[in-house]
Amino acid sequence: MPELRQDPVSGRWVIFSPARAARPSDFAAAPPPPAAGSCPFCPGAEAETPPEILALRPAGSPPDSPGWTLRVVPNRYPALLRAGEPGAGVEGLYRCMDGVGAHEVIIESPAHERGLAALPPAQVAAVLAACRRRIADLGADPRLRYVLIFKNHGAAAGASLAHPHAQLLATPLVPRQVEEELDGARRHYEDARRCVFCDVVAQETGPDGGRRLVSADAGFAALVPYAARFPYETWILPRAHASAFERGDAAQDAALAEVLGGTLRRLERALPGLAYNLVLHTAPCRAPALEHYHWHVEILPRLAGLAGFEWGSGFCINPVLPEDAAAALRAAEV
Amino acid sequence: MPELRQDPVSGRWVIFSPARAARPSDFAAAPPPPAAGSCPFCPGAEAETPPEILALRPAGSPPDSPGWTLRVVPNRYPALLRAGEPGAGVEGLYRCMDGVGAHEVIIESPAHERGLAALPPAQVAAVLAACRRRIADLGADPRLRYVLIFKNHGAAAGASLAHPHAQLLATPLVPRQVEEELDGARRHYEDARRCVFCDVVAQETGPDGGRRLVSADAGFAALVPYAARFPYETWILPRAHASAFERGDAAQDAALAEVLGGTLRRLERALPGLAYNLVLHTAPCRAPALEHYHWHVEILPRLAGLAGFEWGSGFCINPVLPEDAAAALRAAEV
């Protein structure tokens, strides 16, 4: 059973998942890419994943058979397991918790070579709809506090399989980065009676804004945040206030698919071969509609030569001003 | 001038340092290693660094000439600059600060090929003494709030030059990770009237401890922390309570040099070719002796196949239990 442990000094929680690796020799080098034809996410290899949770497939076709256009399956090496109650433990000074949760894979399409940026908008919208369904389903489980959707694209971003996929991690705790956002947003709301994300969107799309804006349409703003941690970091925010992504509808999926695809294509044009992490930040499970919080997507490019500095220095050091990154991305429209 | 910017949601500060890189093409690949003989940190290349701040060299030899056994020089591509007053600015919602600080390089020895783990203990002690001198010197500058010593070893850890060196970053703010530690340690002290780090050392070296201990001698304990973020993460803590590393003496340098060298040799034996980040956590500049804080060294291995997960998931996911990592390191004594 995986286990969560809390650092007694900083309070941060870490997931220990011995199923995901074992001996020192496992770390000697990056895992080799699977040989052509051996991808477990390709059509025909359905038996190589655990049984599917959700799929888009022709009416009447049996589960775990070919013909699908999108599959959601449990991660074969799950960081957390949906079993038992999240019991807590103590060892002297220390606190731990059973690793109850879920770890799923969203296989974005049958096409092995076609990344999210290259999928048709309707297929990206189908991926977003599947994410909303999985968050809503898992969010009803009272043992779970948060459902995080993320994507590691490229080996430098931690992807171990090339076939385009996103991941879902449902956790018995709210991730620290989201908790910090929720706390900061709550403080801003208490001061100003306004959502801080709405204020950011208003400033960046307003008459004095624009320098950090990548694109804006009726539904969404894509922008490089004022204090971007990474060069070309880009956030996509809905212009209308909403705290929970999963309460959106098909119109939201269609509109977000357009801007997400367009933003990824700009990034790939400006930075060929780009690796990135993408994270969806939404409200915690079962939270009511929150006046102070605002769901959004964060795209975090992982560029050569920058790894490690943030751990070493305790600060993110970003050599590219957000205004310069945004200008390059505006010019990189595809 | 570099600039610090604060994210209006989370409150985190980011250093913007345009001197450190420029256009997208700079990120196309990792920087090539310098050709043999062209290392700016090797003897004979003293003119390729800014003028030295501190050096160990034969009496009477001129600054920036060969013959030294250790040099401290300003970073040629500084993330922060020691110039002007740290003025604050506002842009609508956002807050920024001038990037006043210092960024220095501690060249650990003249030997290009000899890492910290392979240096004689007396040379490691000289590196530690130089760090103490620089922290004490910069700590007297009222514009600076923190002096962070860190080391990136290996390309996977962000090192761009192979010649063994540490770095010093003096900042007008306390780094967030240190601030979180200070806050957590203060809370524990208020509850328990004891230092949480002293409690950790007592538990890990006590009659029921030992499972996460790598080594312990009269002066120091080396251990894998209970909630290690990374496989084989190892902390070195002085057994006697002390909040500021830089107030130590030559005896401290000698004792820490032994355990630091020994720990790095164990790590390299268990994980050949290891890349790591090393960070020294000490009290903020001009803090009095703190009852609740305890300086220590953190060694953060950067192992293949794990990059990105922490950004993507919002959690560190560690596949190796601290007890297993500690057992492997105990067995890897060199």
The predicted complex's ipTM stands at 0.91
**Residue B310: its pLDDT value, please?**
79
State the average pLDDT over residues B59-64.
96
Does pLDDT of A108 surpass 90?
A: yes
Q: Could you give the angle at which helices A121-139 and A250-270 cross, rounded to 10 degrees?
A: 120
Domain boundaries, chain B: 3-24+39-171, 176-331
State the average pLDDT over residues A67-88.
92
Alpha-carbon gap, residue B118 to A52, rounded angstroms: 52
Token code pair at residue B196: 């949480």
The answer to whether A105 and A70 have CB atoms below 8 angstroms apart is no
Q: Could you give the angle at which helices B322-331 and B250-270 cross, rounded to 10 degrees?
A: 100
Chain centroid to CA B192: 29
Alpha-carbon gap, residue A121 to A261, rounded angstroms: 7
Banded pLDDT at A305 (limits 50, 70, 90): low
**CATH fourth-level superfamily of B3-24+39-171:** HIT-like (3.30.428.10)
pLDDT digit string, tens, across residues B114-173: 999 999 999 999 999 999 999 999 999 999 999 999 999 998 888 888 999 999 999 999
Q: Could you give the angle at which helices B250-270 and B121-139 cross, rounded to 10 degrees?
A: 120
Asked if B103 has any chain A CB less than 8 Å from its own CB, the reply is: no
Instruction: For Cα atoms A102, A108, A113, give the angle at the middle one, nearest 5 degrees.
Output: 130
Of A12, A313, A14, the residue nearest B184 (C-alpha): A12
Chain A hits for B13, CB-CB cut-off 8 Å, are 227, 315
Domain boundaries A3-24+38-171, corresponding CATH code: 3.30.428.10
Q: Residue A149 forms beta bridges with which residues? A: A168, A280
Alpha-carbon gap, residue A188 to A200, rounded angstroms: 12
Of A270, A152, A295, the residue nearest A214 (C-alpha): A270
Chain B hits for A33, CB-CB cut-off 8 Å, are none
Q: Do domains B3-24+39-171 and B176-331 have the same CATH topology?
A: yes
Alpha-carbon gap, residue B221 to B214, rounded angstroms: 8
The answer to whether B168 and B73 have CB atoms below 8 angstroms apart is no
- Residue with the bigger pLDDT between B64 and B82: it is B64
**Residue A303: its pLDDT value, please?**
85
Token code pair at residue A217: 């349409």
Alpha-carbon gap, residue B217 to B237, rounded angstroms: 11
Alpha-carbon gap, residue A270 to A250, rounded angstroms: 30
Residues in chain A: 334
Instruction: For Cα atoms B237, B239, B242, give the angle at the middle one, nearest 5 degrees.
Output: 80
Banded pLDDT at B33 (limits 50, 70, 90): low
Structure pTM? 0.94
Is there a contact between B156 and A226 if contact means CB atoms under 8 Å apart? no
**Residue A22: its pLDDT value, please?**
47
Which among B17, B27, B269, B298 is the top mutation candidate for probing chain A, defined by the most A β-carbons within 10 Å of its own β-carbon? B27
Residue indicated by tokens 């190589």: A48
The answer to whether B6 and B94 have CB atoms below 8 angstroms apart is yes
Helix or strand holding residue B214 (H, E): strand B213-216
- Pairing, β B13-16 against β A316-318: parallel
Q: DSSP readout, B23-77? A: SGGGGSSPPPPPPTT--TTSTT-GGGSPPPSEEE--TTPPTTSS--SEEEEE-SS
Does pLDDT of B32 surpass 60?
A: no
Token code pair at residue B32: 């090539």
- Would you tell me which CATH number, out of the four given (3.30.428.10, 3.30.450.20, 3.40.50.300, 3.40.47.10), belongs to the domain A176-331? 3.30.428.10
Is there a contact between A21 and B156 if contact means CB atoms under 8 Å apart? no
H helices, E strands: number in chain B: 6, 15
Task: List the catalytic residue out of B103, B153, B163, B165.
Answer: B165
State the average pLDDT over residues A238-260.
98
Residues 47-76 of chain A whose Cβ lies under 8 A from any Cβ of chain B: none
Of B93, B328, B91, B49, the residue nearest B214 (C-alpha): B328
Alpha-carbon gap, residue A41 to A69, rounded angstroms: 11
- Residue with the bigger pLDDT between A310 and B44: it is B44
Is there a contact between A314 and B10 if contact means CB atoms under 8 Å apart? no
Q: DSSP readout, A132-196? A: HHHHHHHHT-TT--EEEEEEEESGGGT-S--S-EEEEEEESS--HHHHHHHHHHHHHHHHHSS-H
Token code pair at residue B269: 């034996």
Does pLDDT of A304 surpass 70?
A: no
Mean pLDDT of chain B: 92
Query: In this structure, is the dihedral angle defined by the CA atoms of residues B50, B56, B62 and B65, taken in order, positive or negative?
Result: negative
Task: List the catalytic residue out of A163, A165, A241, A296.
Answer: A165
Alpha-carbon gap, residue B306 to A158, rounded angstroms: 6
Asked if A169 has any chain B CB less than 8 Å from its own CB, the reply is: yes
